[in-house]
Amino acid sequence: MLAPPHSGCYGAAVAAVALSRARPLCSSLFRHRPLAFSYRASLCLNLSLGMEHFSTKGSTDKNKGLVEQLKHYEGSPAYVDSPVPIGYNATISAPHMHATCLELLEEHLQPGMHALDVGSGTGYLTACFAIMVGPQGCAVGVEHIPELVASSINSIKRSAASSMLDEGSLSVHAADGRKGWPELAPYDAIHVGAASPDIPRSLLAQLKPGGRMVIPVGNFFQDLKVVDKNDDGSVRVRSEASVRFVPLTSRAAQLHDY
């Protein structure tokens, strides 16, 4: 069982990219330490449904208030704490998984740091990264389905992270995520949203000494690995939890039976 994320700085970050039809965290993981985590049903990142007052500078009480408000929305699978298909044989992760990865990377998503989101999909987590590292930092999303890249950029333009997209501190690119995005490396934080048979060397090379990567590793049986690169370049790897992700593969393989 994963430990419940706390109401830290990423709680405010995810509140700031609240979506047009918010999706609450109903899991008992968050019963005792609620996280301000809203989600999407329509793939539109915006501050609607009267949530504008839950700003990125809001207090824990405001974050808890947002959670309470979200509990009133029912009737759609998009509100369940589970992955949701977004087309092209891709999914957006369950809210608890986003929260877990944000917590694991929190110390490496401080203002001014650089973050890479591999398999960025809807752009949701990339936008969270951008808000956490701020305009002096850099958040990069890489997605190999061009249609998802286009839709994610349109969504981010309607979010609290839109100004960072305009300023260039947030960007999303159509490319093979297995190769990372070396143009803006090295990265303090790397998140991989699909399961790789092993840890890609290209991503490890782009991880900054002192940085951390969170990546699901395995085929049928998968573990969420936490990869820390020491200052001398050596690497420590530990398993956080058993998980189930779609495979990190080529665009052609992903679309083969789509």
The residues assigned a catalytic role are 93
Residue in the block written with tokens 């700031």: 16
Q: What are phi and psi of 230, to 5 degrees?
A: -75, 165
Classify 240 in phi/psi space as left (phi over 0), alpha (psi -120 to 50) or beta: alpha
The beta strand positions in the chain, using DSSP E, are 84-87, 90-92, 114-118, 138-143, 170-174, 187-192, 207-218, 222-229, 235-243
Measured distance CA(54)–CA(17) in Å, rounded: 10
Sign of CA dihedral 211, 186, 99, 127: positive
How is 219-238 classified by DSSP, letter by letter? SSSEEEEEEEE-TTS-EEEE
Amino acid at the residue 242: S
